[in-house]
Structure 1
Amino acid sequence: MSSEARRQGGFTLVEMIVAIVIIGVGLAGVLVAFNTTTRGSGDGLVRRQLLGIAEGLMEEVLSRPYAAVAGGGSANCERSAFNDLDDYNGYATTGRICSIDGSEIGNLAGYSVSISVQAASLAGVAQAKRIVITASAGAETLSLSGWRTGYAAP
């Protein structure tokens, strides 16, 4: 018989502790990266909502007649009585967004919007108005500009 000592297989306690530390450090790095990614994941949503608000209002404003129409204007958040471009000048809400009938859109609480309609010259066209819609939520602000010209029908 052989008197050689047979070496047993397996891990020592020191090897196990080193493996646990290495796996723990790697897992912590992955979790830090995951946390950073998820913390900022909603940022794009706010920007898309601001763009949707501004585009929706721009479509509404551009659908109104260029020339002033008698009447118009409105109190508070309602815009259903606005009947020409100039009625939208100075319209603003703070901390809320409303539909055209004045009812607040609950999911957009904390958002604000302002509209400016100013006469301006556009490439030699005398009858032109520049429309600027600014939507904001917290520190995020988005401005959308558009133009509308007055023209005589043929």
Structure 2
Amino acid sequence: MFIVIVGAAIAGVLPVFIQATASSVDPMIRRQALAVAESVMSEVMLMPFTFCDPDDDNAETASSGAGCATTAESLGAEGGENRYGTPQFDNVNDYNGFSMSGINDITNTAVTGLTNYNVSVAVAAAALGSITAGSGDALRITVTVTGPGNTSIVLDGYRSRHAPNSP
């Protein structure tokens, strides 16, 4: 009788353990996706936010795009800039439209174990407090990471320009 009762109890509890074990990988995938998103967001946020391309002679002093000697910044990379080679991204705006399939570090070396993750970055003018979107003095940066099992993480960050530029 004891064996029958214990057997029935184990049969009832066993599916719970199986489900818990099968689901325990899911938080790891979300944590990896979040770590990738935070890393890319930090990389973008640490870039200068200037009116002119940082290679422009007037980048440090221009108070508008009209003050640039050669190249005013606009959304998206200019002049063949990319994340990995020369010329390299050098402004927050350059990351607009950037994406990668499989995660690579800044030297374009694949990160082991992250080949099933994808990243996309969008940068757009934004309103932020008293800053209007039309002024171009604030940007909304959206980093989207997708991973195995339909995992999706979206991070939004804001970057504002200070007088006259923000290195």
Which TM bucket (shorter chain)? 0.7 to 0.9
Match of 2:106 in 1: 100
Give CA-to-partner distance per residue, 1:58-111, whole Å, 9 cap, x none: 11111110013345721xx727711111111111112x0110111111211100
Residue of structure 2 equivalent to 1:132: 142
Quick one: which amino acid aligns to residue 54 of structure 2? V
Residue equivalent to 1:73: 81
Q: How does 1:81-120 map to 2 (within 5 A)?
A: 81-94=88-101, 96-120=102-126
Could you tell me how far apart the structure 2 residues matched to 1:59 and 1:133 are? 10
Q: How many pairs were matched up?
A: 134
Between Structure 1 and Structure 2, whose CA radius of gyration is higher?
1
Aligned partner of 1:64 in structure 2 is 47
Q: Secondary structure at the match of 1:58?
A: helix
| Equivalent position of 1:27 in the other structure | 10
Gaps of 5+ in 2: 56-78
CA-atom RMSD in angstroms: 2.0
4+ residue segments displaced more than 2 Å:
18-21, 68-72, 77-80
Alignment-mate amino acid for residue 18 of structure 2:
N
User: In the aligned structure 2, how far is the partner of 1:114 from the partner of 1:43?
Assistant: 21
Q: Structure 1 length as normaliser, TM-score?
A: 0.79
Paired position in structure 1 for 2:60: none
Distance, in Å, in 1 between the alignment partners of 2:141 and 2:49 is 12
Counterparts of 1:104 and 1:132, CA distance in 2: 22
Q: How far did residue 118 of structure 1 move?
A: 0.9
What's the offset of the Cα at 1:30?
2.2
Flag structure 1 segments of 5+ consecutive residues without an equivalent. 1-17
2-structure distance, mates of 1:27, 1:149: 59
Return closer, same or farther for 1:97/1:50 CA change in 2, 3 Å cut-off: same
Deviations 1:21-80 (A, max 9, x none): 222111112221110110101111111111111111111111110013345721xx7277
Q: What is the aligned partner in structure 2 of residue 9 from structure 1?
A: none
